[in-house]
A and B are shown apart, each in its own frame.
Chain A
Amino acid sequence: MEKTEKILVKGTEAIAEAAIRAGCRLYFGYPITPQSELTEYMARRLPEVNGTFLQAESEVAVVNMIYGAASTGKRVMTSTSSPGFSLMQEGISYIAGAELPCVFVNVVRGGPGLGDIQPAQSDYFQATKGGGHGDYKLVVLSPESLQEAVELTSHAFDVADKYRIPVLILTDGLLGQMMEPVSFPDFRNLDDLNDHSSWALIGTNNERAPHRVSSFDLDPVNLEKMNLNRHQKYKKITESEKLYEEYKLNDAEIVIVAYGTMGRIVKSVADKAREKGVKAGVFRPISLWPFPYEELEKWSKTAKLFFAVEMSSGQMIEDVKLSINGKRPVEFYGRMGGIVPTPGEILAKLMELI
């Protein structure tokens, strides 16, 4: 990927600019803290590139506008934060059912309910286990830095396009609000993007049979066939789209597992533990679905203990336990309510475990 020089930007704006460079020209949104700057950036920036920005009346409308725009085969995205993401679930289920490519960003805040506006990781279940009705999957990607957010945003559009699946970038207010120097990839040539004219709603031009984009079939046998095909696709994605980072794991006795901003923070915890003579390393899932189960399981052969750290009451830990499958103990530390645990308190908990 060609890169321009590094510039200092805010997290939400980094994702927005990266989306535009990836070929996204349609954004539908509804303001909610802590991600409204992404919406505002799109309102300012999209008209400059002949794009379309629309502030909808609700997240329910947003997700259905995304459904409509995605059904024309164009690159389209929205961003929101937890309560807004909950409202989008109905539409996400329909989009997954109709197999449409699009990108969502959820800048997670403390919950449940209105909660607060501080960073949290409490939407993990909703994001990775299917927040809407029906048996479907989203590709879920979680960056630890703004540079990675920029790269994952480009990647998200490509994965969405390749598999005709909604992709979610799951992040939090800490990353959304921080500033870091990043280098952006060049603008994608829109002509080089996937050609979706074989299924998209663009009008028959009186030349072919009509295209149907839909999530439903009232015949159970047909519906099962549709669902089985979709699950074949999920299997393919599971085989080829897992992303993760390993940090100082080769000789690690303790594997700290964390994602997103927490995954970044625990690297310094591992370093500090090593200064105290405790061999710790970090496994950071980047794709939360598909979750890198086997890749994590591999370390159960050498490590004694797994330690999940999350800004929640413990959600990803269930996937860690599934990976390890009882072979090693899995411990947990988490804060709720929008509090970001400090490296010091995580280290203290880790030292207690030994």
Chain B
Amino acid sequence: MSTYTERFKTPVSLSEKEFTYCPGCHHGIAHRLIAEVIDELNIQGKTIMVAPVGCSVFAYDFFDVDGTVAAHGRAPAVATGIKRARPQNIVFTYQGDGDLAAIGTAEIIHAANRGEKITTIFINNAIYGMTGGQMAPTTLLGMKTTTTPYGRDETKDGYPIRVSEVLKELRGVAFLARTKVTTPQDVLKTKKYIKKAFQAQINNIGFGLVEILSTCPTNWGLTPIESMKWLEENMVKEYPLGVFIDKVG
């Protein structure tokens, strides 16, 4: 029987650097899962990461792989440039909802539509974390943020964008799923999805994206436990979980 520390040793693909995320933030869980997948697929040596602008701006320092940080929202275009120059490498982007669904909407849609052989991990926490809790395109109706102090109002602010549902229509997408990491079962499922999204790239099928519903206890003004509950009770309704596209098989 393996011991606790053996089973929970740090994945090789994670660096020694300590995460800079707030307690209870799901960025950390997502990072660990990606690193485990990279380890298991044995692709660490050829993986190149494109970090976003947002709380995860340092992501490339947390992974022990070659990496860069793109301008806000432009990670899919940067990843495209890398992948076209080096098709033999595995390229992934890690992006928040402000990054991917606001300023970078065009870049993600077109990279997905081209069937770019890259993988995107999309952290949807319904808010801008790094800049201090402003409205994101994914902010729920009625949700209070620093720029929707009276609650998001669809007549003024529009509706929450369901990114996976939008991307579902694009024929270049090879794997697409929405998931969460609030329970151990969810964590295992999420890891399976991340693996498939990378597999879509390794098998040269097309673009892969995993949307992970995540917490932002700091800007939601909730404890980590309350945040999990809030996510379960509110976000899952607006953003149904499931696999939208799976051409990996």
Chain A residues with a Cβ under 8 A of chain B: 26, 28, 52, 54, 56-58, 60-62, 64-72, 74, 76, 90-91, 94, 98, 201-207, 210-216
Contact = CB atoms under 8 A, between A and B. Distances in A.
A64 B85 CA distance: 13
Nearest to B57: A216
Given A60-B106, A210-B66, A69 B81 contact: yes
Nearest to A213: B68
A203 B48 contact: yes
A205 B64 CA distance: 11
A252 to B, nearest CB: 47
B9 to A, nearest CB: 18
Contact of B107 (A61, A70, A76, A98): A61
Contact of A65 (B48, B63, B78, B86): B78
Contacts of A70: 81
13 contacts: A26-B81, A54-B84, A64-B74, A68-B83, A74-B85, A91-B71, A203-B45, A203-B66, A204-B44, A206-B44, A210-B60, A213-B67, A214-B60
Select the residue from B48, B89, B107 with max chain A CB neighbours within 10 A. B48
Given A56-B110, A205-B45, A69 B65 contact: no
B77 A65 contact: yes
B82 A201 contact: yes
Contact of A210 (B65, B77, B86, B110): B65
A246 to B, nearest CB: 40
Given A54-B84, A205-B46, A68 B78 contact: yes
B37 interface: no
Interface residues of B, number: 34
Select the residue from A66, A212, A215 with max chain B CB neighbours within 10 A. A212
Contacts of A211: 66-67
A110 B64 CA distance: 48
Contacts of B45: 203-207
B84 A212 contact: no
A56 B107 CA distance: 9
Contact of B89 (A66, A202, A215): A202
B50 interface: yes
Given A64-B78, A68-B50, A210 B64 contact: yes
B71 A64 contact: yes
B106 A58 contact: yes
B47 to A, nearest CB: 7
A69 B66 contact: no
B85 A72 contact: yes
B80 interface: yes
A330 B107 CA distance: 47
A261 B205 CA distance: 48
B65 A66 contact: no
Given A68-B80, A71-B82, 20 more contacts: A26-B81, A26-B85, A54-B84, A62-B77, A64-B71, A65-B80, A67-B70, A68-B70, A68-B81, A68-B85, A71-B78, A94-B71, A98-B68, A201-B68, A203-B45, A204-B45, A210-B60, A210-B66, A211-B67, A212-B67
